[in-house]
């Protein structure tokens, strides 16, 4: 797919990530498109919804299903700023999206290649094409800025800082 178009889509996902950050959520954003049409946009809202499953990707899949009035989302493309976790990758397989494009790798929970390879292997009955590294630096920067700011505001646990370091080191 054309690079300029991919970057345009990732920028929209980045805008979503920033919205999450402004609300104090870990800044990860996603959009789902079909052709040139945006079906859904979303960002991480776990704290807001008191919902550990309210990751950007899950919210986007739910919205898109409602828009299309279909629980199968064949022919759609997911753009997400950070490599998705096992829960989100599994949800993408269930939803039958065609393609996944992500920005920064996520060494601790990334389930496309960094920690797990859930899209590889013979057992899967649905293949998702993957592209990584679109605006990777910008996507990682949003996380880095968020944690830097939060660290300045109050003391945070080492785990979050290490997460950012891992992401930045992996680029
Ligand atoms: Zn997730």
pLDDT of residue 157: 60
pLDDT of residue 50: 97
pTM of the model: 0.87
pLDDT of residue 164: 77
CA of 86 to the centre of ligand 1 (A): 7
CA of 148 to the centre of ligand 1 (A): 22
Backbone angles phi, psi at 77, to 5 degrees: -125, 130
Closest CA to 57 of 75, 76, 35: 76
The residue to which tokens 């739910």 are assigned? 62
Alpha carbon separation from 38 to 17, 29, 44 (Å, rounded)? 16, 14, 18
Backbone angles phi, psi at 111, to 5 degrees: -110, 15
CA of 88 to the centre of ligand 1 (A): 4
Could you give the residue numbers annotated as active site? 57
pLDDT of residue 95: 96
Helix, strand, or coil here: 77? Answer: strand
What is the spatial distance between Cα 57 and Cα 78, in angstroms, rounded to a whole number? 8
Helix, strand, or coil here: 39? Answer: strand
Residuewise pLDDT in 10s, the chain (171 residues): 688 999 999 999 999 999 999 999 999 999 999 999 999 999 999 999 999 999 999 999 999 999 999 999 999 999 999 999 999 999 999 999 999 999 999 999 999 999 999 998 777 778 999 999 999 999 999 999 998 988 888 765 666 777 778 878 877
Half-sphere exposure of 87 (CA within 13 A, CB side): 9
pLDDT of residue 158: 65
Helix, strand, or coil here: 53? Answer: coil
CA of 84 to the centre of ligand 1 (A): 5
């Amino acid at each position: 797919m054309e690079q300029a178009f991919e970057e345009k889509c990732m920028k929209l996902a980045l805008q979503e990530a920033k919205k999450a950050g402004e609300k104090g959520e870990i800044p990860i954003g996603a959009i789902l498109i079909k052709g040139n049409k945006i079906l859904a946009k979303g960002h991480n809202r776990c704290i807001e919804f008191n919902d550990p499953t309210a990751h950007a990707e899950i919210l986007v899949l739910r919205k898109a299903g409602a828009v299309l009035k279909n629980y199968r989302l064949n022919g759609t493309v997911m753009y997400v700023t950070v490599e998705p976790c096992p829960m989100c990758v599994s949800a993408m397989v269930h939803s039958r999206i065609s393609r996944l494009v992500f920005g920064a790798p996520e060494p601790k929970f990334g389930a496309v290649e960094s920690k797990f390879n859930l899209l590889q292997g013979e057992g899967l009955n649905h293949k998702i094409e993957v592209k990584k590294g679109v605006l990777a630096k910008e996507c990682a920067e949003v996380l880095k800025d968020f944690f830097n700011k939060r660290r300045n505001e109050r003391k945070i646990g080492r785990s979050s800082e290490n997460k950012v370091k891992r992401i930045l080191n992996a680029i």
